[in-house]
């Protein structure tokens, strides 16, 4: 019979921990939460100081009984759920159940570890503690607040708009941010501007100096301004009037937090946030690595901290020293300074075992697991490396009192770039200018003038939305993935490539929320509320005080909206495309891969067609219809409908384009 019982959350952890603990330990899992508020009712007694009502989750009764039987046999019980507020609450609920048997009273301890390694688990067993009620209350506060918002406003949305909709404390703010961005894009009016460059030769190399102005920058808002400058300069030569050389240092990136991991995985690997978190969870809990057995490859994945342990610091510096040399070792440990309260009991996300390189683990991991592990591994090693150093040079040239500039840079020392490069690092130019001295003059070979138009703000992507939510202090990084997933599931937004677009349904929900619950969707209020919830976790605020100050106003607003708000009729957008199976006019719908056409006769008629938006003019190359599309960055462009047979495309709709049969914006099959 085992003397000790360790209870974790997932079966994967059971396998990982069992590998390095002896037969005197029984390890079992709760499979997530065992106790929660009921799904069928509000679950909060608003008449009794907002006391939560907890029940055993349906289907978890047998598991709870099994854990109670194992606890009765054990001499010591260690609650080892995740090292965060959610994990603390799971342990608290379980402890309350186990304490129904008074014999367990002196048996139960709480342990936590940031990584699933032999040393971390054994150190945790040597330092058991009691349940941290501040963390539990922080989780209760968040859970109750989310329940009150969701369970009081969602039925109103069902009544006034459509069944199956939902509202949420963070979800509704995120939706408003997306709607506001879309409105900003729609209202944007492009402004014309020009650039002017002077091409000249230095030896065999042709350079292009950019127009600046005189003592101050001169805006080039129209072609006439550019032409007047070129005419005034005439055949005057460009003369070097100033030359500056310097050095620029680019600091190593910090190791990953939950938010930055989601952002970089989206940018570099094109992973949705939910996929990133799912894979990271598996890497944390344990995978079977050839020759090593089941191993937890990374530290805990839900963290706001960039701190790492002294042991990890020494190990990574030794690795850098061995593989790259002393010059690459960071001389001073750099950590992010922030005014935001963070879960600093955790470390940053890093490899649990530096000796298990991505190369060694590759054959044991699925393709996407390997990609994410490699990203985390390289980022951590790079975070403890020295800055990259660039030699920079700026040259100013003058012609008729007008200033033109040239700039160049050369990488002198790669530092952390030897291991890790972001998108911005990859885009960095590494070109030095040919030798030029003050007083050197050059004839202008060619004037390069180009028309541009200012661009509307970019559509949100998952990465940029996560960044905006974090910068606004809205929600927790661990909630961003499920928040975005819910917005997509409810069809409030849709994704086309990486860009997020709001749907008609999303606009309707946001309008109702904004008009009737302005506080709920206010970014500043939500961020302040998040700060209050954080203060509960350190014992500075009573959690029920927050709820008491919040709920009465919410309840009043819901009742008022129920009486005064009219039902919203969202009509499906009808097109001129006729269903070739039943003759009805097809409607525009949104799916996981964007817009498509569907027959309104569903389910009798299940016909669907791809969505194409014609631009209203003919291709000047082949005469076919042109279509309106969006680039990866959300910018509108026009291309031939016969692509790739015809490769014609343009960013601006031609003013003298020949009109086709389809009008601009018409939807065709």
Q: Is 300 a catalytic residue?
A: yes
| Active-site residue, selected from the candidate residues 300, 328, 420, 614 | 300
Question: Distances from the Cα of 548 to the Cαs of 93, 168, 189, 529, 553, in angstroms?
Answer: 23, 18, 46, 13, 10
Q: Which of 644, 19, 622, 611 shows the shortest CA–CA distance to 294?
A: 19
Question: Which letter does DSSP use for residue 357 in this model?
Answer: -
CA angle 180, 183, 189 (to 5 degrees): 135
H-type helices in 517-590, by residue range?
523-537, 543-564
Which run of H or E residues covers position 250?
Answer: strand 238-250
- Specify the long-range contacts of residues 281-287, CB closer than 8 Å, at least 24 apart: 282/12, 282/369, 283/369, 283/372, 283/373, 283/376, 284/116, 285/10, 285/12, 285/13, 285/16, 285/116, 286/12, 286/13, 286/15, 286/16, 286/116, 287/361, 287/364, 287/365, 287/369
Task: List the strands of the sheet with 238-250, edge to edge.
Answer: 441-442, 238-250, 388-399, 402-413, 205-213, 192-202, 446-453
Tell me which residue of 373, 341, 337, 345 sits closest to 358, measured CA to CA.
373
* Measured distance CA(574)–CA(417) in Å, rounded: 53
**463 alpha carbon, distance to own chain's centre:** 3
Long-range contacts of 306-315 (CB under 8 A, 24+ apart): 306/254, 306/255, 306/257, 306/335, 306/336, 306/348, 307/335, 307/344, 307/346, 307/347, 307/348, 308/255, 308/347, 308/348, 308/350, 308/380, 309/347, 312/347, 312/350, 312/354, 313/384, 315/354
Residue 5 to residue 190: CA distance in whole angstroms = 66
How far is Cα 283 from Cα 302, in angstroms, rounded to an integer?
13
DSSP 472-532: TT-S-HHHHHHHHHHHHHTTSEEEETTEEEE-HHHHHHHHHHHHH-TTTT-HHHHHHHHHH
Evaluate whether 354 touches 316 at the Cβ level (below 8 Å).
yes
Give the count of alpha carbons within 13 A of 582, CB side only.
14
| Number of Cβ within a 10 Å radius of residue 423 | 9
CB atoms closer than 10 angstroms to residue 493? 24
The catalytic residues are: 300
């Amino acid at each position: 019979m085992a003397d000790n019982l360790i209870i974790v959350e997932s079966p994967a952890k059971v396998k990982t921990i069992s590998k390095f603990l002896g037969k005197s330990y029984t390890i079992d899992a709760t499979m997530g939460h065992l106790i929660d508020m009921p799904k069928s009712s509000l679950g909060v007694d608003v008449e009794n100081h907002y006391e939560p009502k907890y029940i055993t989750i349906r289907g978890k009764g047998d598991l709870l009984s099994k854990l109670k039987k194992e606890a009765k046999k054990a001499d010591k019980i260690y609650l080892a759920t995740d090292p965060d507020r959610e994990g603390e609450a799971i342990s608290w609920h379980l402890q309350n159940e186990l304490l129904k048997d008074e014999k367990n009273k002196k048996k139960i301890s709480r342990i936590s570890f940031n990584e699933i390694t032999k040393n971390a688990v054994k150190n945790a067993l040597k330092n058991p503690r009691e349940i941290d009620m501040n963390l539990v209350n922080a989780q209760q506060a968040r859970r109750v607040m989310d329940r009150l918002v969701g369970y009081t406003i969602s039925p109103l949305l069902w009544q006034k708009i459509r069944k199956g909709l939902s509202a949420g404390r963070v979800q509704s703010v995120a939706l408003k941010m997306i709607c506001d961005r879309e409105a900003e894009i729609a209202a944007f009016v492009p402004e014309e501007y020009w650039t002017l460059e002077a091409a000249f030769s230095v030896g065999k190399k042709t350079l292009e100096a950019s127009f600046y102005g005189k003592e101050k920058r001169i805006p080039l808002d129209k072609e006439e301004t550019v032409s007047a400058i070129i005419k005034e300069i005439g055949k005057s030569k460009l003369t070097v009037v100033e030359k500056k050389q310097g050095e620029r240092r680019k600091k190593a990136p910090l190791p990953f937090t939950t938010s930055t991991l989601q952002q970089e995985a989206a940018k570099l690997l094109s992973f949705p946030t939910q996929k990133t978190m799912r894979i990271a969870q598996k890497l944390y809990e344990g995978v079977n690595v050839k020759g090593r057995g089941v191993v937890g490859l990374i530290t805990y994945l839900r963290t706001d901290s960039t701190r790492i342990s002294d042991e990890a610091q020494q190990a990574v510096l030794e690795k850098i020293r061995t593989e790259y040399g002393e010059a690459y070792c960071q001389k001073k440990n750099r950590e992010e300074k922030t005014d935001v309260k963070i879960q600093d009991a955790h470390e940053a996300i890093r490899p649990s075992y530096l000796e298990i390189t991505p190369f060694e683990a590759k054959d044991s991991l699925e393709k996407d697991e390997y990609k994410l592990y490699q990203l985390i591994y390289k980022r951590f090693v790079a975070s403890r490396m020295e800055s990259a150093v660039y030699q920079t040079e700026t040259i100013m040239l003058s012609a008729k009192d007008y200033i033109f500039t040239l700039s160049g840079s050369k990488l002198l020392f790669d530092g952390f770039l030897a291991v890790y490069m972001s998108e911005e690092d990859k885009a960095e130019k590494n070109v030095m200018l040919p030798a030029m001295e003050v007083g050197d003059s050059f004839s202008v070979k060619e004037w390069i003038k180009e028309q541009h138009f200012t661009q509307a703000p970019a559509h949100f992507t998952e990465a940029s939305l996560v960044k905006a939510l974090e910068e606004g202090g809205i929600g927790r990084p661990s909630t961003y993935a499920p928040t975005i997933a819910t917005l997509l599931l409810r069809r409030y937004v849709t994704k086309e490539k990486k860009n997020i677009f709001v749907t008609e349904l999303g606009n309707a929900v946001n309008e109702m929320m904004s008009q009737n619950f302005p506080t709920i969707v206010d970014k500043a209020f939500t961020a302040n509320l998040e700060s209050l919830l954080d203060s509960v976790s350190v014992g500075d605020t009573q959690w029920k005080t927050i709820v008491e100050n919040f709920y009465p106003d919410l309840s009043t607003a819901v009742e008022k909206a129920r009486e005064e708000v009219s039902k919203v009729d969202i009509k499906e957008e009808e097109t001129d495309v006729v269903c070739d199976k039943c003759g009805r006019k097809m409607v525009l719908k949104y799916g996981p891969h964007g817009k498509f056409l569907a027959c309104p006769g569903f389910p009798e008629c299940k016909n669907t067609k791809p969505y194409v938006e014609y631009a209203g003019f003919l291709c000047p190359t082949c005469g076919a219809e042109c279509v309106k599309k969006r680039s990866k960055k959300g910018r509108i462009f026009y291309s031939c409908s016969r692509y790739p047979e015809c490769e014609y495309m343009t960013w601006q709709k031609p003013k003298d384009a020949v009109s086709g049969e389809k009008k601009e914006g018409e939807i065709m099959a």
